[in-house]
Amino acid sequence: METVKRKIALDLDDTLADALSIVVARINSELGLSLSKGDFKDWKMVNLQKEYGISWEYTHEIYHKVWVENWKSIPALASPDLLGKALKYYDIDIVTGRSEGSIDYCRRWLEENYAGIGFRNIVRVNEVHKKVELDYDIFMDDAPTLADALIEANYRGKHLMLVDQVYNRCIVDDGINIVRVRNVNAALFLALKETDAAKNRDKSRS
C-alpha cells in the first residue's frame, strides 16, 4: 500500500526568496535612507513607523513593486538539491500572502530559479495567519503571526519550522510544535531527517 505523503506549505517571501533585501534597497533609494534588514525589528514595523514614518502599507506596496518590476533580482535561498530530495517524501506547495497581481511574476521567479522542481501548486492567502486553516502538516515560514495562529488553534497536529528573522524573535521555540531554524535549507534538512527517523522506526517494528 502506497504511503500518503505529508504536506508542506513553503512560504515565499523571506523564506524561499530573499525579497526583503531588495525591498530594503528600494526603500533606501526612494527615501534616502541607509536601512538594513536588521532594522525590521517587528512584524508590524512599529519601530520603523515611529523612527522614519515607514508604514506597513507602504512596505507591502514596495514588496508588490519588487515582485513585479525586480523579480529577477530577488535571491533564491533554498538548495534545489535539498528541495528535490524533500519532494520524494513530501507534497510541497508554495503558500504565500503575495498580492494577486504579483503571482504571475512569482511563477516566473520559481521557473527561473527552480526549473524542474515539482511543486504542486502556488496557493495564495489574503492574510498570512489564515494559512493555519489550510490542510498542511508542516509550515516552513518566517511569519510570527502564523506561529500565534497555530498556538491559538492548539496546533491540531500542525508544525511550524520558523525561519529565523529579527522580527520573529518574540516567538518561543518549544522544540515540538514550533522549531526555529536558521534558514530554509535547515528546515528542509530537518524534514528529511524526520523521514529517516520514521523509516528507522518502521524497520525496528518489522
β-sheet bridge partners, residue 90: 6
Q: Would you tell me the crossing angle of helices 56-69 and 19-31 to the nearest 10 degrees?
A: 110
pLDDT (0 to 100) of residue 196: 65
**Domain residue limits, the chain:** 6-17+75-205, 20-73
Confidence bin at 199 (pLDDT 50/70/90): low
Q: Which residue has the higher pLDDT, 111 or 3?
A: 111
Which CATH number is 6-17+75-205 given? 3.40.50.1000
CA distance 142 to 117: 22
Residue 128: is its pLDDT beyond 60? Answer: yes
Assessment of whether the complete model's pTM goes beyond 0.95: no
Each residue of 3-16: b (16+ CB within 10 Å) or e?
eeebbbbbbbbbbb
Please report the pLDDT score of residue 195 as a whole number. Answer: 82
Average pLDDT over residues 92-121: 95
Asked whether residue 68 carries a pLDDT value surpassing 90, the answer given is: yes
Per-residue pLDDT, 172: 96
